[in-house]
Amino acid sequence: MKKNILFISCEEAKHICDKNQYGEASFWEKFKLGLRLSWCKITRAYTKNNNALTKCIEDSKVDALNQQELDDLKQAFEKQLGNQH
């Protein structure tokens, strides 16, 4: 079956919505998502929750250790752990 270039499935819409949260959706993808949002309640609900999650994380200014920092911490701690035994 030929894939419709304008109308996308709910799953594809969710995928584009996810990419859009990270600024990785193309103009054409955003257009197709917008079209689906105009009539699909499920996509609208998903997008609403997804946007709220993104805003939450941005507002929180939450931070984490990167892999290198985590590895350094692990290495130093394991050394201490070894000294205990």
Contacting positions for other proteins (CB under 8 A): 14-15, 18-19, 21-22, 24, 49-50, 52-53, 56-57, 59-67, 69-70, 72-74, 76-77, 80-81, 84
Shortest distance, position 20 Cβ to other proteins, whole Å: 12
Tell me how far, at minimum, the Cβ of 80 lies from other proteins, in Å: 5
Q: Which is nearer to other proteins, 26 or 73 (CB)?
A: 73
Question: Is residue 11 a contact partner of residue 43, using CB atoms and an 8 Å limit?
Answer: no
- Closer CB to other proteins, 7 or 56, in the complex: 56
CA distances from 11 to 4, 40, 48, 64, 70 (A): 14, 12, 15, 30, 35
Instruction: Look at residue 40 and give its three-state secondary structure.
Output: coil
Q: For the CB of residue 40, give the shortest distance to other proteins in the complex, in Å.
A: 17
HSE at residue 4, side-chain half, CA atoms within 13 A, is: 8
